[in-house]
Structure 1
Amino acid sequence: MRLAPLRSLTGPQYFLLAGSFLIPLGSFAVLPFMSVLLHERLGMGLGTVGVVLAVASFVQFSGGVVGAAIAERIGLQRTMLLALVIRTAGFVCFLPGLGSPAVAVTALFLVSAGAALYLPANKAYLVHQVEEEQRPLLLSASSSALNAGIALGPIAAAPFVLSASAGLFTAVSLLFAAVTVGHALLPVEKPDGRPADVVEAPRPREKPFAGLPVLPFAITVLSVYVFMFFQHYLAVYAVPRTSTVFYALVLALYALLLVVAQPLLSDWIARLPYPRALRLGFTALATGMTTLALGHPAAILAGALLICLGEIVLFLKNDLEALNLSGRSPAVVFGHQRLAAGIGAFASGIAGGGGYDLAERSGHTGLFWAAVAVQCALLPPLLIHALRRFRPGRTTTALHRAR
């Protein structure tokens, strides 16, 4: 990867990259502990907590389509600002929510809705009016900053979640208020990324899913579906076989590899033909899941790092391919991609709980990871074959353009 282009970034781009670290840092100082707060501090039943968190996650992902539509109507900068105002209000509401389950759930949904509105506009603003060859670096740098914030947020907040919850929520609210003020100072852009002083004739409003690039959308659903088995069930699998310290080490190394490797590999990933990227990505996922099934500490670490490589290739390449194939604005494209991720995560949650429980009751939990590995190997070619059958022209054209 050539790091020289980083020196040519604009002030707003640098600010957004910094925000890509600070926003998840604040969010993940709180969100990973919501099940503990809702259950242990506020007394909600675990079943209710599970439903609340599942619905909130789905809102956060699927709401990206709404966020993209709003961005097309009022502009990227204004959408980001509106989203951060909503999200800041959500974190402020957690303060009275510490004594009221209803207020706490309302606060959680405000935070989730704000995230849904923000992310498509944020990515679109970051890449607007840049050359196509700059997109991989900007998107991968943003992803690395986001993952660094996700990794550090829980570590920074862990000592204060239960002992000083009010102080933690106050600090996060102030952080988001400061980031919101910074976004208010960004240049106002039109929904298509043109400067605000450029006037053009209004275009007919398109339907939300017009121009949807079906292949990268479907592959994103599948990528997130198989990946979320790892995200959801690694802890319950790894901790009894190792320790909480070893599990924390695995997560730290995973985050480090993700933060460092994705920008370094971004140019290479961008040049990869799409079919080859799919083969590499899903092979890494399948190999990683198979390695996890061995159950030894070294196998758990190796499997996690292989899965990280699969995530790096697939998630970035799917976004780039969607941008290349769609004629819609970047905000709409990223909204579609967020919806695809939400569908995949929701399907994984439905299938994963029963699947892991069945494997655990059989006394061979390694079979769970073996079954996921089989899906990583078989589902991608089956999905592509199905798309060719039902949408032969578009799917074949998309694959040939990617070669």
Structure 2
Amino acid sequence: MGERAGESVRLRAALATLDGPLRFLLLSSFLIPLGSFMILPFMSVFLHERLGMGLGTVGVVLALASLVQFSGGIAGGALAERIGLRRTMLWALVVRTAGFVGLLLALRWPPLAVGALILTCCGAALYLPANKAYLVHGVDDERRPAFLSAGNAALNAGMAVGPLVAGPFVLSSPGWLFLAVTALFALVTAGHARLPAAADQRRPDPRESRQGLMAGVAVLPFAATVLAFYLYFHFQHYLAVYAVERASSAFYSLVLLLCFTLVIVVQPLASDRIRRMRYAAALAVGFTGLAAGLAVLAVGTRPALLAGGALITLGDIVLFLKSDLEALRRSSRSDAVVFGQQRLAAGLGAGASGLLGGQLYGLTERAGNTGWFWLLAAAQCVLLPPVLLTLRGRTAPLPHSDHDKGALPTHDKDGRIPGR
């Protein structure tokens, strides 16, 4: 009890150092997913029922959009390294706002919907690495977990509230909904234009530029993130079908709300403890939580759905935050590029889960017992992580700290290095 109180005090002390721009950035980290999740979770229904697309076409469109949104983060990180964090966030928000304008116009001309959806995902891909890098720019190692977990909490809060707000209107009044979201993004974009520039943290090594976007990648955290997202998206992709069949769509929403709430509450409180954990221990704890949660889901009862979702979320709280922190520590690249590489890892894992997990779920469904799907996924949580041990020798720590990546004394007003 005393230790938890101490962690709470340390968290509040760390967050008390947030200045006005960073507080605005945290508010934006809530408002942006709030607006996005007022629309994006309903896109399959909107494209199919409102615009008349076949389900097969809808699936292809959503798969492409997910791939762009996750894997495009590596391009966002590289752009931030070249033109500055604030400018990258501004361009990303302009692109995303244009995408929502396109969705509004698609009510009159449906073919615009696909391009507009992809445009919003491009904006998301560009924005997130710069957002995270701006949030931790110049922050010492001890406060970074608190700042990152606060950003994750704000993100999850927006994702949780958005569908609740928009659910009654997405099919009955989509025009007003799209207009409201577009206006929200325009206001957030205007706010970002007033942010002070954050100086880029280091001059890119010319050798890295020649090697490409993956130069300097921290191999072990990258691979661990691929694997964690691959296993987590078994839950994310297929719980809806499984839970609605055994309970109801309302109960499925309750499970998701529990998971969002755990991230919002637990991750900030646990952030300092996660920072102090050895990476091997964090991987063991995280994948054990995933394995236990997936196995519990196989029971199929309502309490099991809640308990399984909670265990999976607790495992991922450790895995996702610790892998980001470890990637920052080990990589020779700027923070924005590191976050972009981690987003690429997430996209690869989520994509693999969609392809392989879908085949596996289909097999168990045809066999008449989808509970086996969760047991097989849990078995992978036990069998696959030891493979990561073979990568330990390829990720030597940097000889300097992650917040001292060669900062230069002279930058222009938007954080770019003159002459670049």
* TM-score class, shorter: over 0.9
Shift of 1:202: 8.3
CA contact (8 A) 1:86 1:110 kept: yes
Other-structure match for 1:153: 162
Q: Specify whether residues 223 and 203 from structure 1 end up closer, same or farther in structure 2 by C-alpha distance, changes over 3 A only.
A: closer
For the 8 Å contact 2:88–2:130, the answer to whether it is kept is yes
Q: In 2, Cα distance between the equivalents of 1:177 and 1:382?
A: 46
Shift of 1:68: 1.1
Q: Does 1:142 align with 2:151?
A: yes
Pairs within 5 Å for 1:28-39:
28-39=37-48
Spell out the pairing of 1:227-246 with structure 2 (5 A cutoff): 227-246=232-251
**Match for residue 329 of structure 1?**
334
CA contact (8 A) 1:67 1:116 kept: yes
* Separation in 2, partners of 1:98, 1:316: 39
**Cross-structure match for 1:97:** 106
Identity of aligned residues (%): 63
Which residue in 2 is equivalent to 1:197? none
Whether the 8 Å contact between 1:91 and 1:111 is mirrored in structure 2 is: yes
Q: Which residue of 2 aligns with 1:198?
A: none
Give the 5 Å matches for 1:3-402. 3-192=12-201, 204=206, 206=209, 207-385=212-390, 387=391, 393-395=393-395, 397=396
Aligned twin of 2:400? none
Task: Tell me how far 1:203 sits from its aligned partner.
Answer: 5.9
For 2:170 and 2:278, the matched residues in 1 are separated by: 45
Aligned length: 386
| Alignment-mate amino acid for residue 258 of structure 1 | V
How far the C-alpha of 1:240 sits from its partner, in A, is: 1.5
Tell me, in whole angstroms, the C-alpha distance in 1 between the residues paired with 2:217 and 2:382. 26
Residues of 1 paired with 2:240 and 2:350: CA distance? 17
Given that residues 81 and 183 in structure 1 are in contact (C-alpha distance below 8 angstroms), is that contact kept between their aligned partners in structure 2? yes
Amino acid at match of 1:321: E
2 CA distance for matches of 1:97 and 1:232? 27
Q: Residue type matched to 1:124 in 2?
A: A
- In 1, Cα distance between the equivalents of 2:121 and 2:293? 31
Could you tell me how far 1:158 is from its partner in structure 2? 0.3
Partner of 2:409: none
CA–CA separation in structure 2 for the residues paired with 1:176 and 1:95: 13
Confirm or deny: 8 A CA contact 2:137 2:198 kept in the other structure: no
Task: Give CA-to-partner distance per residue, 1:272-318, whole Å, 9 cap, x none.
Answer: 00000000000000000000011111111111100010110000000
- Residues in 2 aligned to 1:138 and 1:273: alpha-carbon distance in whole angstroms: 20
| Superposed CA offset, 1:245-288 (max 9, x none) | 22222221221111100000000000000000000000000000
What is the RMSD computed on CA atoms of the aligned residues?
Answer: 1.5
The question of whether the paired residues in 1 share the 8 Å contact of 2:220 and 2:388 is answered with: no
Q: Contact 2:30–2:158 at 8 Å: present in 1 too? A: yes
| Structure 2 contact 204–333 (Cα < 8 Å) conserved | no
**Distance apart, 1:244 and its partner CA:** 2.2
Q: Secondary structure at the match of 1:85?
A: helix
The structure whose residues are more often helix, as a share, is: 1
Gaps of 5+ in 2: 1-6, 398-420
1:352 shift after superposition: 1.5
- Shift of residue 191, structure 1, vs aligned partner: 3.0
For 2:204 and 2:26, how far apart are their aligned partners in 1? 31
Name the residue aligned to 1:196.
none
The 8 Å contact of residues 44 and 101 in structure 1, kept in 2 or not, is answered as: no
**What are the ranges of 5 or more consecutive residues in structure 1 without an aligned counterpart?**
194-200, 399-403
Distance 1:227 1:270 in 2: 21
**Poorly superposed stretches of 4+, deviation over 4 Å:** none
Distance in 1 between residues matched to 2:261 and 2:235, nearest whole Å: 17
Between the aligned partners of 2:184 and 2:19, the Cα distance in structure 1 is 23
Using the size of structure 2 for normalisation, the TM-score is 0.89
Q: Which moved more, 1:60-69 or 1:341-350?
A: 60-69
Task: Output the CA distance in 2 between the equivalents of 1:265 and 1:281.
Answer: 13
Distance in 2 of aligned mates of 1:58 and 1:191 = 28
| 1:9-54 alpha-carbon deviations (Å, 9 max, x no partner) | 1111101110100000000000000011111111111111101110
- Residues 5, 202 of structure 1: alpha-carbon distance in 2 compared, 3 angstrom cutoff: closer
Contact 2:93 2:123 in 1 (8 A): yes
